Amino acid sequence: MSYKLLLVEDDAELKEIITDYFTQKSGETYEIASACTGTEGQDKCMETEYDAVLLDIMLPEVNGYTICRDLRKSSDVPIVFITARSSESDKLHGYHLGCDDYIVKPFSLAELYAKVTALIKRTKGTVRSDYMTVGSIKLNPYHYTVLVDDKEVILAPKEYTILKILMENVGRIISRENLLIRVWGYDFEGNDRVVDNHIKKLRKSLGEASNQIKTIMKRGYSLEG
C-alpha cells in the first residue's frame, strides 16, 4: 500500500532533502507531491486527497496557518507544521487551527518520518473503527456521539471538544491554556477558570467514568484508561 503526502515548503533544498529521505526510507511507500507557495499548496489540496500534509508556516502568497484552517473545514487529513517559528503562542495557535503535530526547525529527519508514519497509521486505524475508546468511554468523531459503558451520554459542544482532545492525548497532560486556546479560540478574553468549570460539567455527564479524568495540580488535565 502506498500513501500520498503533500509537502508545502518554499526552501528548495529542504524540500529535496525531506523528499529523498522519505522515499528512500519507505522503499517508495510514500508518494510525495510538493508545492513551493501557499497558493500552489491550496490548489493541490483541492485537486488531490492526501494521507498527510506537511506545512511550512512562512510561505509566499498564503501562509501555512491559513492553509491549515481552510483544510480543517472539510478534511481530517493529518497536518504537521514544519517551521522555524518556535514560540509557545505559535505552537498553540497551530494546534488551535487543527494541526496534529508541530515540529520546529532544525529537526531530525528520523523523528519527522516516525511522527508522520504514526499519524497515518493512527488515522487509518480510526477510519476502520468508528469509535475512539479509552477505558469505559467511547467517542465517535464522525457522528459526534459519546458512550459510557455502551450507553449514550449527551454532552454540550465544548465538553465534547474537550473530551475529544483528551482522548486523542491519552496519558498526556494537557494544560488549561492549551485547552482554552483550542476550544475557546486564540482571542478569548476570559481566564482559564472556564476550563475548570467545563471539566466539572464533563465529569458530571460522564458519571462513573468521571474518575478517568485526572487533575494534575498546577499543570492541567489528563485522561487515563
Full pLDDT tens readout for the chain, 225 residues: 789 999 999 999 999 999 999 998 888 789 999 999 999 999 999 899 999 999 999 999 999 999 999 998 888 899 999 999 888 888 888 988 889 899 999 889 999 999 898 888 887 764 445 678 999 999 987 677 899 998 999 999 899 999 999 998 888 899 988 888 888 876 777 777 899 999 999 999 999 999 999 999 888 999 987
Compute the distance between CA of residue 64 and CA of residue 34 in angstroms, rounded to an integer.
14
Q: Judge whether 54 and 82 are in contact, CB under 8 Å.
A: yes
CATH 1.10.10.10 domain position(s) in the chain: 132-223
Q: For position 56, what pLDDT does the model report? A: 96
DSSP-based three-state secondary structure for 80 = strand
Report the distance separating Cα 161 and Cα 144, nearest Å.
10
| pLDDT at position 134 | 92
Match 513551493 to its residue by C-alpha cell: 36
pLDDT value at position 221? Answer: 93
E strand segments, the chain = 3-8, 30-35, 52-55, 79-83, 101-104, 132-134, 137-140, 145-148, 151-153, 213-216, 220-223
206, containing H or E segment: helix 193-206
Give the cell for residue 160: 465534547
Q: What is the pLDDT of residue 184?
A: 84
Report the C-alpha gap between 19 and 6 in whole angstroms.
10
The rounded Cα 41 to chain-centroid distance in angstroms is: 19
Which of 157, 151, 182, 180 has the alpha carbon at shortest distance from 168? 182
Q: Identify the CATH number of the domain defined by range 3-128.
A: 3.40.50.2300
The hierarchical CATH code for the domain 132-223 is 1.10.10.10
Q: State the pTM of this model.
A: 0.58
- Comparing CA positions, the residue from 147, 187, 186 lying closest to residue 163 is 147
Portions of the chain given CATH number 3.40.50.2300: 3-128
d(CA 8, CA 162): 30
The residue behind cell 460539567 is 201
What is the side-by-side order of every strand in the sheet holding 52-55?
Answer: 30-35, 3-8, 52-55, 79-83, 101-104
